[in-house]
Amino acid sequence: MINDEELNRNPQHSVPTLALDRLEAVTALGRGAKGVVFLARDEVKDEILALKVISRDSIEKKSSKTVKSGNGNEGNEYRRVTFEQEVLRNFNHPLFPRLRGVLGTDKVVGYAIDYCPGRDLNSLRRKQTEQMFSDGIIRFFAAELVLALEYLHNLGIVYRDLKPENIMIQENGHIMLVDFDLSAKLSPISPKSSTPTNSVNQTPSNSIKKKRFSLFQRYCNSGISPDDSASQASVNSEHTESDSVEKSNSFVGTEEYVAPEIISGKGHDFGVDWWSLGIVLHEMLYGTTPFRGLNRKETFYRILTKSPDLVGEPTSLRNLIRKLLEKDPKKRISLEGIKGHNYFKGIDWELILGIERPPYIPVQTEKDFWEEGTEVINKIDVELFVQGIFENAGEGGVQNKGKPDHSLNTNNNLENVNKNDRLRGQNHRSFEANPFSVF
């Protein structure tokens, strides 16, 4: 059983325990492999929240399956539930959510964070002309993402799942980074090891190429679905003396955004987040990711072997994207190089978070969304809703997209979940844990 004391154990950051009877959930915003995210209101404080609720049964089934597999990852699912909450508990930054409360019953566990009425960056991009952002808008969001990742890395946290669906728009127009299910704790990188080498790119030796391709084939031909918990590796890490930085060997991420070093299995560190930033900037500029293939195997092959096709005249943005998408993590541009790049020339990094008029401010406020939802949807039985979804999904909580379950008596809400699944890009497939993409 999950120890509920673990969900609220940090005395320095006291977080209230929430009771279901004080929460009014009216719509499901999204779902993932472990649970469902609801729009909810704390009736005691009259506050609107995003409530992430996870089925205890689904966690225990996955943990039991892990134990039976004998891979030494006992309790891994429990650790992930508590780890994400510990990450949230330690945030004190305007670009990150506050942990507003934790929830625990016999059937579910979960937590509440701030709700973002502007939804995610991907939905905002689709509203733009030709589904692409202008250079000025990209620069604003890019600068805030740099600050967000810098803050995470200073805490010793490597994010590992940066993508537009995890970049939310707050009511004030600034971004909020969410979903830390795939994050990991590493020792902060030293200044020496964070500086990329200036040596000229060299062609890998044949032995290195063979080893890389062998690892690539092993992962791509494994037959493991993105939602299959058997694909999970423990968040083990090793200390590499040559790099003087701790690395993780977990095979995690979202296919189109994952860095080459994760695929090759050589160990990775904070540099994977800068690679993912390059993918996100490419998607904002061109409306598509640079290495997407017809299937997982082809996507990974392209990530390992292809250069990004940066169509158009040379610009500082395209130059930055190319430096971020350097396949060798030792030569990839680092934080210092990014903040000093010509693309950000003239930016006062100390003033970004104080900008009063970001490029986009949501028209709909939290209260507007709440009032709109209550006119259409009745209050949800959270436990029944979550249990019903994961019983029908089967062991492991594999999503059954596009097929409402009429036995739950919450048809409208489940249809909203499936609608969000379709709208938010089914091709952005996460592996290891298929994390929540919506808050």
On whether the CB atoms of residues 289 and 256 are closer than 8 A, the answer is yes
| Residues 39-55 as b or e (16 or more Cβ within 10 Å = b) | bbbbeeeeebbbbbbbb
Any idea which residue has 């939802």 for tokens? Answer: 373
On whether the CB atoms of residues 433 and 252 are closer than 8 A, the answer is yes
**Is 161 noted as a catalytic residue in this protein?**
yes
In 271-381, which residue ranges form alpha helices assigned H by DSSP?
A: 271-286, 296-305, 316-324, 335-339, 366-376
Residue 429 CA to residue 8 CA, distance in Å, equals: 31
Kindly write down the DSSP assignment for every residue of 143-203, as one continuous string.
HHHHHHHHHHHHTTEE-----GGGEEE-TTS-EEE---TT-EE-PPPPHHHHSPP-PPP-P
Q: CA triplet 174, 273, 317: central angle to 5 degrees?
A: 65
CA-based nearest residue to 276, from 373, 167, 356: 167
* Structural element, H or E, at residue 114: strand 108-114
Other Cβ atoms within 10 Å of 362 Cβ, number: 18
- Of 42, 114, 161, 181, the active-site residue reads 161
CA-based nearest residue to 168, from 214, 113, 218, 131: 113
Give residues with Cβ within 8 angstroms of 208, minimum separation 6.
Answer: none
Strand partners, 413: none
On whether the CB atoms of residues 40 and 49 are closer than 8 A, the answer is yes
- Catalytic residue list: 161
